[in-house]
Amino acid sequence: MTESLIQALVVMQEAKALKEARRLLDKGADPMNILESCSKAMEIVGKRFEREEYFLPHLMMAGEMLKQISEMIKPVVKEDKTQPGRGRVLIGTVEGDIHDIGKNMVVFILEASGFGVLDIGVDQAPEKFVQAVRSFQPQVVGMSGLLTLSFDSMKETVQAIEEAGLREKVRIMIGGGQVTEKVKDYTGADAYAADAVAGVRLCRRWIGGE
């Protein structure tokens, strides 16, 4: 049902992608299915970028299409009274890593789903996460990292949050292409998300009791 949307996003057909997203919404499609299709499309775009088949302008165009689809979906999500209660999520890419495709996808879906999100960006030191937790007071902290060296940064960030006396106030999830259950245990996070949609489902469960 959403294959045409995925294809349009992947090949950068903006008009077709927006038209297809609107058609799906008008037919009563589940907004989360549309968001999941966007996630799948961005995963393909990200892989093409890594293989140097796509470049920065492609990522910018993909981001703009996601933004417009998000604006379509937000009103539908807010009108759905069956949606669980929303809260605040802090997210960032840890120190030593500048990859943000996956992080941006999570932010996109979280915002479209009605969460309050603070994205602190890439290459963020542990103390930056601590400062943001203190000021933003999120229920969930998401840490992203694609490189294996980011695993130590994730662990150090979890430790910094704990040393600041804030660990009991937040649930921590990690994500990235090479993150596994073993990495989750190493870092001290509460859970890991295999993809953007899985990350959002974690937030919905933790915050909304889903």
Please report, as a single letter, which amino acid is at residue 203. Answer: C
Angle at the Cα of 22 from the Cα atoms of 21 and 27, rounded to 5 degrees? 100
Following CA atoms 26, 30, 35, 41 in sequence, which dihedral angle do they give, to the nearest 10 degrees? -80
Higher pLDDT, 107 or 75: 107
With residue 147 as reference, give the H or E element that holds it: none
DSSP-assigned letter for residue 85: P
DSSP-assigned letter for residue 84: P
Residue 116: give the domain boundaries.
Answer: 88-208
Highest-scoring range by mean pLDDT, 49-53, 101-105, 125-129: 125-129
Does 31 share its domain with 57? yes
Does 186 share its domain with 106? yes
| CATH number where 151 lies | 3.40.50.280
Does 141 share its domain with 50? no
Last residue of one domain, picked from the residues 50, 79, 108: 79
Task: Spell out the alpha helix ranges (H) of the chain.
Answer: 3-10, 14-26, 31-50, 56-79, 101-112, 126-136, 150-163, 181-187, 196-208
Residue 1 above 70 pLDDT?
no
Residue 159 above 80 pLDDT?
yes
Does 111 share its domain with 194? yes
Does 103 share its domain with 186? yes
| CATH number where 75 lies | 1.10.1240.10
- Count Cβ atoms within 10 A of the Cβ of residue 178 and give its class: 0-12 exposed, 13-18 middle, 19 or more buried: exposed
For 115, phi then psi, to 5°, come to -80, 150
Residue 84 above 50 pLDDT?
no
Report the pLDDT value the prediction gives residue 82, as an integer from 0 to 100.
42
Last residue of one domain, picked from the residues 79, 102, 132: 79
Number of structural domains the chain divides into: 2
Does 183 share its domain with 128? yes
Positive/negative CA dihedral, 45, 109, 92, 198: negative
DSSP-assigned letter for residue 169: G
Last residue of one domain, picked from the residues 25, 46, 79: 79
* Confidence class for position 30, pLDDT limits 50, 70, 90: confident
d(C-alpha 71, C-alpha 78), whole Å: 11
Tokens 């807010």 -> residue: 78
d(C-alpha 156, C-alpha 93), whole Å: 13
Report the pLDDT value the prediction gives residue 81, as an integer from 0 to 100.
43
Does 137 share its domain with 179? yes
Does 179 share its domain with 199? yes
d(C-alpha 176, C-alpha 189), whole Å: 13
Report the pLDDT value the prediction gives residue 79, as an integer from 0 to 100.
54
- Count Cβ atoms within 10 A of the Cβ of residue 196 and give its class: 0-12 exposed, 13-18 middle, 19 or more buried: buried
Does 99 share its domain with 143? yes
For 92, phi then psi, to 5°, come to -170, 160
d(C-alpha 172, C-alpha 188), whole Å: 9
Q: What is the mean pLDDT of residues 153-160?
A: 98
